[in-house]
Amino acid sequence: MLIPWHQYTMHPALFKGDKKGQYWFMEATIENRRARFDYSILETYEAGLALTGSEAKAAKMGRMSLIGAFVVMRDNEAWLLNATISPYQPKNTPSDYDPEQPRRLLLHRRELKELTGKTSQSGLTIIPLKVYTSHNRVKILIGLARHKKQGDKRETIKKREAQREINRTLKRE
């Protein structure tokens, strides 16, 4: 979503503009909508993403997909797998660029130890929930989750439908 710069009173480094002085605030939020339906989120953590320059620009522009992505712990590091970052400039991208390459997550050592211990329990996994920018840095919200059973999913659908009906009746009145 593009918002005129004069509606924000933030640092100029958070704005993208052209030479004529027209600045626009770039708000990039990529969500994994399926994650909250398929999983019960127990805890959430905010992590940084280690990206190259063109990958960071592409992520800020919203050219990223979290469909089928997950996080694994290897050698006391967290890695994001199966997340797709489309090239920022496809014609200017190196020939060996892989949009689904593993990307390292930047977490504190204490958080890494917590996640390693908790994922060793059976049934718990780490999934990405949302990618966003914070102070011109690309951040990812990851969640420690347990997979829902089919009955839990049906119950979620029933609750959502009931809430829609309530909203419809309130809107009519």
Is residue 17 one of the residues assigned to a domain? Answer: no
Is residue 7 one of the residues assigned to a domain? Answer: no
Question: Which residues have a Cβ under 8 Å from the Cβ of 38 and sit 6 or more positions away?
Answer: 147, 148, 153
Tally the domains of the chain: 1
Is residue 1 one of the residues assigned to a domain? Answer: no
Read off the pLDDT of residues 91-136 as tens digits, 9 standing for 90 and up.
888 888 888 889 999 999 999 999 998 888 778 899 999 999 888 8
Nearest to 59 by CA among 169, 143, 134, 170: 134
Q: Which residues pair with 41 in a beta bridge?
A: 145
Is residue 10 one of the residues assigned to a domain? Answer: no
Neighbour-count burial of 128, counting CB atoms closer than 10 A to its CB (0-12 exposed, 13-18 middle, 19+ buried): buried
One-letter amino acid at 145 equals A
Check residue 136 and give its pLDDT: 83
| Range(s) of the domain holding residue 35 | 29-172
Is residue 20 one of the residues assigned to a domain? Answer: no
The CATH number linked to 153 is: 2.40.280.10
Check residue 99 and give its pLDDT: 83
Is residue 23 one of the residues assigned to a domain? Answer: no
Check residue 161 and give its pLDDT: 92
Check residue 58 and give its pLDDT: 85
Is residue 2 one of the residues assigned to a domain? Answer: no
Check residue 72 and give its pLDDT: 92
Place of tokens 């592409």: 58
Report CA dihedral (65, 11, 107, 86) to the nearest 10 degrees: 20
Check residue 28 and give its pLDDT: 66
Q: What residues of the chain score a pLDDT lower than 50? A: 3, 5-15, 18-19, 22-25
Is residue 138 one of the residues assigned to a domain? Answer: yes
